[in-house]
Chains A and B, each alone.
Chain A
Amino acid sequence: MATTKVPEVRDIMRIERIGAHSHIRGLGLDDALEPRQVSQGMVGQLASRRAAGVILEMIKDGQIAGRAVLIAGQPGTGKTAIAMGIAQSLGSDTPFTALAGSEIFSLEMSKTEALSQAFRKAIGVRIKEETEIIEGEVVEIQIDRPATGTGAKVGKLTLKTTEMETIYDLGNKMIESLSKEKVQAGDVITIDKATGKISKLGRSFTRARDYDAMGAQTQFVQCPEGELQKRKEVVHTVSLHEIDVINSRTQGFLALFSGDTGEIKSEVREQINAKVCEWREEGKAEIIPGVLFIDEVHMLDMECFSFLNRALESDLSPVLIMATNRGITRIRGTNYQSPHGIPIDLLDRLLIIATSPYTEKETRQILKIRCEEEDVELSEEAHTVLTRIGMETSLRYAIQLISTAGLVCRKRKGTEVQVDDIKRVYSLFLDEARSSQYMKEYQDSFLFNETQTASMDTS
């Protein structure tokens, strides 16, 4: 037999892209809600984190549905980070919807419709439904990769119970999740037929061997009896918006896939509210008020604010968290000035959390965390230089420099980012202050300068 070496095909799991707040895993509080200086990716901002923790506990108890919180502070002081931290610590079961203030301005939908949809996306309904599941012991799992190395994989899975055996054809997605769960012959698994969710129940007793090496958490279970496919009641969470879409007759449930849901009639919403309340009274469903986060809330205009005033009074309303970096400014859509660009009557309903600028020590910590997140090694001096840059320009600019400096360092085949790398990217990329300076110096040589004399109004 010819022994040609087959190149090992590695399955590449989904690599998560590194987002600006990917390092945040929670609010970093202890059980007494006291903030730790550095924890779960959060640094400093002790007072505001503690305040957010109190809010979080109230959300968990279901107490402040229909109330609103405003996180206010200068740019780059961790407003979005705190909101993300709240989302992370709420867990996946509580609906969390995030949007930016300008997202609601669309030609296809009115502003208030977009806001109501966002509101209803943030309210979950936990409901029991019957689904079909497959439960059995894996006899054989066979996955064939095409010889060329590209194209769709095909697979077969043989499952059995004590009474019967069935062969299943596997699709691509299924193969992926089977290999992710590391399912092998002898495992007892269940597959939700509708969603394709796989859960491992344990190893079959018949496969137990004396000298098998296995983890302490491996459980042995009996091979299931009877038929492979069963109907079972499962609990799942849907948002009110999803129920709206399914029931809005003109669109049908296909609208969920195309994403184009259009406007939903208020009668439909009222009917659904009534239905859901009925379910709740009968104990068939449970309502979970989630969190709606509106970033850059000063971008909303007067109409939206008055809509919010009313929407917050409805009994089916989520917790609203808003963030803004504006001081006293014009309310959009009016000529009035107001703190944070929000009318006073709405401000009156809000709990306001303020964030303050980071100290040098905190900046240093954050840069360190980001370096770990982006997998860049920083020498001690480079770290100090970067912290200085962060203090003098902005934290965001310093964070931008991490990955660029990392690249420069890799190009010269270094393993650790040195001061020279930082200097190089510092000279390559301008920060906001230097860029403005440059503009002032060379204003005359830019295009269209000859007709325009006054500086542009950028508000």
Chain B
Amino acid sequence: MAVQSWSGTLKSSRKTALLQDGKRKIHYLFTDGQEMVEEYDLETDELIVRKWRQKSKIGGQGQWQVEVGEQLASPVPSLDSSMIKENCSNPVFTRKDTKSSFQWRVRNLPYPKDVFVVSAEPSERCIIIKTTNKKYYKKFSIPDLERSQLPYDGSALGFTHANNTLIVSYKKPKEILTLEQELLKELKKLKATGEGDVDCKTQ
């Protein structure tokens, strides 16, 4: 089934592993030229970062698209600082998974809990966060479910609100849990190079 096809893609990709700063960093290169980087905590085996990069159509190197974890602010003020960017007081949307569930955090939302409406839309294959005061709206899909083509389930969804932060969580389905465990086992078998700069063969 679809779960198999995704795990097959993962298996066929070329992988490089690296242990650094208490993290296990893995670089995947897929056959279609896409790149993926994952970082796991060495102690808890939790996924900290997952990001993607793809060549742009005319051949340029694309930007990293962060799927899990926080977008790193670029060290140099970027070229487009003279253009437009979100004010820092706006809500910030990040994904941070736990072992048993997918979890999203939206910071900078200083509204009471009953303002928020979070719903799963199985037909559109997405989750929608709405606010009754019309201040925030977000429509997002769960890439893990998309890749394995699993259905969305409204009952797996829940949310809490504390410290100006909205936390939305979605229980991982069985299939995902087994897949992740298998993958982790596989990754631990990879010979990881130690500290320092390494030649990344897959890059």
Residues of A within 8 A of B (CB): 125, 127, 129, 134, 156-157, 160-174, 191, 193-194, 196, 226-227, 238, 242-243, 246-247, 252-253, 272
Partner of A167, one of B60, B83, B89, B139: B89
Please name the residue on chain A nearest to B135 by beta carbon.
Answer: A165
In chain B, positions 44-101 with a C-beta closer than 8 Å to chain A are 56-61, 80-87, 89-90
Assess whether B82 is in contact with A174, with CB atoms less than 8 Å apart: yes
Assess whether B84 is in contact with A171, with CB atoms less than 8 Å apart: yes
14 additional contacts (CB under 8 A) given A163-B131, A169-B86: A129-B56, A165-B134, A165-B136, A168-B85, A169-B85, A170-B84, A171-B84, A172-B82, A174-B82, A193-B83, A196-B83, A227-B138, A238-B58, A252-B61
Assess whether A246 is in contact with B60, with CB atoms less than 8 Å apart: yes
Contacts of A172 in B (CB 8 A): 82
Give Cα distance in the complex from A194 to B60, angstroms: 14
Contacts of B89 in A (CB 8 A): 167
Give Cα distance in the complex from A157 to B139, angstroms: 23
Contacts of A160 in B (CB 8 A): 134
Partner of A253, one of B57, B61, B137: B61
Contacts of B130 in A (CB 8 A): 163
Contacts of A194 in B (CB 8 A): 80
* Nearest 4 A/B pairs, CB to CB: A171-B82, A163-B137, A164-B137, A173-B82
A196-B80 CB under 8 A given contacts A166-B90, A246-B59: yes
Query: From DSSP, what is the main secondary structure of chain A's interface residues?
Result: mixed
Please name the residue on chain A nearest to B83 by beta carbon.
Answer: A196
Assess whether A164 is in contact with B131, with CB atoms less than 8 Å apart: yes
Please name the residue on chain A nearest to B136 by beta carbon.
Answer: A164
Q: How far is the CB of A127 from chain B (nearest CB, A)?
A: 6
Assess whether B134 is in contact with A163, with CB atoms less than 8 Å apart: yes
Contacts of B134 in A (CB 8 A): 160, 162-165
Contacts of A161 in B (CB 8 A): 137
A168-B137 CB under 8 A given contacts A129-B57, A246-B58, A253-B61: no
Contacts of A164 in B (CB 8 A): 131, 134-138
Interface string of B107-144 (1 = CB under 8 A from A): 00000000000000000000000110011111100000
Please name the residue on chain B nearest to A162 by beta carbon.
Answer: B134
Give Cα distance in the complex from A193 to B136, angstroms: 20
Contacts of A166 in B (CB 8 A): 86-87, 90
Assess whether B84 is in contact with A169, with CB atoms less than 8 Å apart: yes
Summed over the interface, the residue pairs from A and B with CB atoms below 8 Å come to a total of: 79
Assess whether A127 is in contact with B61, with CB atoms less than 8 Å apart: no
Give Cα distance in the complex from A247 to B57, angstroms: 11
Interface centre among A163, A171, A193 (most CB of B within 10 A): A163
Q: How far is the CB of B83 from chain A (nearest CB, A)?
A: 4
Residues of B within 8 A of A (CB): 56-61, 80-87, 89-90, 130-131, 134-139
Query: From DSSP, what is the main secondary structure of chain B's interface residues?
Result: loop
Q: How far is the CB of B107 from chain A (nearest CB, A)?
A: 14
Contacts of B58 in A (CB 8 A): 125, 127, 129, 238, 242-243, 246-247
Give Cα distance in the complex from A420 to B89, angstroms: 67
Give Cα distance in the complex from A127 to B137, angstroms: 32
Partner of A227, one of B60, B87, B139: B139
Q: How far is the CB of B96 from chain A (nearest CB, A)?
A: 21
Please name the residue on chain B nearest to A170 by beta carbon.
Answer: B84
Contacts of A252 in B (CB 8 A): 61
Interface centre among B58, B60, B139 (most CB of A within 10 A): B58
Please name the residue on chain B nearest to A253 by beta carbon.
Answer: B60
Interface centre among B57, B80, B138 (most CB of A within 10 A): B57
Assess whether B84 is in contact with A196, with CB atoms less than 8 Å apart: yes
Give Cα distance in the complex from A164 to B61, angstroms: 33
Q: Provide 18 A-B residue pairs closer than 8 Å at the C-beta atoms, listed in order of the A residue.
A: A129-B58, A156-B87, A160-B134, A163-B131, A164-B134, A164-B138, A165-B134, A165-B135, A168-B87, A169-B85, A169-B86, A173-B82, A173-B83, A174-B84, A193-B83, A227-B137, A238-B58, A247-B59
Assess whether A174 is in contact with B83, with CB atoms less than 8 Å apart: yes
Contacts of B85 in A (CB 8 A): 168-169, 171
Partner of A134, one of B84, B87, B90, B136: B84
Please name the residue on chain B nearest to A247 by beta carbon.
Answer: B59
Please name the residue on chain B nearest to A256 by beta carbon.
Answer: B60
Contacts of A127 in B (CB 8 A): 57-58
Give Cα distance in the complex from A28 to B138, angstroms: 54
Assess whether A157 is in contact with B84, with CB atoms less than 8 Å apart: yes
Please name the residue on chain B nearest to A271 by beta carbon.
Answer: B59
A168-B84 CB under 8 A given contacts A161-B137, A163-B137: yes
Please name the residue on chain B nearest to A191 by beta carbon.
Answer: B84
Q: How far is the CB of B189 from chain A (nearest CB, A)?
A: 33
Give Cα distance in the complex from A168 to B84, angstroms: 7
Q: How far is the CB of B25 from chain A (nearest CB, A)?
A: 24
Contacts of B80 in A (CB 8 A): 171, 194, 196
Q: How far is the CB of B57 from chain A (nearest CB, A)?
A: 5
Q: How far is the CB of A154 from chain B (nearest CB, A)?
A: 11
Give Cα distance in the complex from A253 to B55, angstroms: 12
Partner of A226, one of B57, B61, B82, B137: B137
Assess whether A167 is in contact with B84, with CB atoms less than 8 Å apart: no
Give Cα distance in the complex from A160 to B56, angstroms: 30
Q: How far is the CB of B95 from chain A (nearest CB, A)?
A: 17
Q: How far is the CB of B35 from chain A (nearest CB, A)?
A: 16
Give Cα distance in the complex from A163 to B135, angstroms: 7
Q: How far is the CB of B60 from chain A (nearest CB, A)?
A: 4
Interface centre among A129, A169, A170 (most CB of B within 10 A): A169
Partner of A169, one of B61, B87, B131, B137: B87
Contacts of A196 in B (CB 8 A): 80, 83-84
Q: How far is the CB of A153 from chain B (nearest CB, A)?
A: 11
Give Cα distance in the complex from A166 to B82, angstroms: 18
Contacts of B135 in A (CB 8 A): 164-165
Contacts of B136 in A (CB 8 A): 164-165
Give Cα distance in the complex from A200 to B156, angstroms: 42
Give Cα distance in the complex from A410 to B85, angstroms: 48
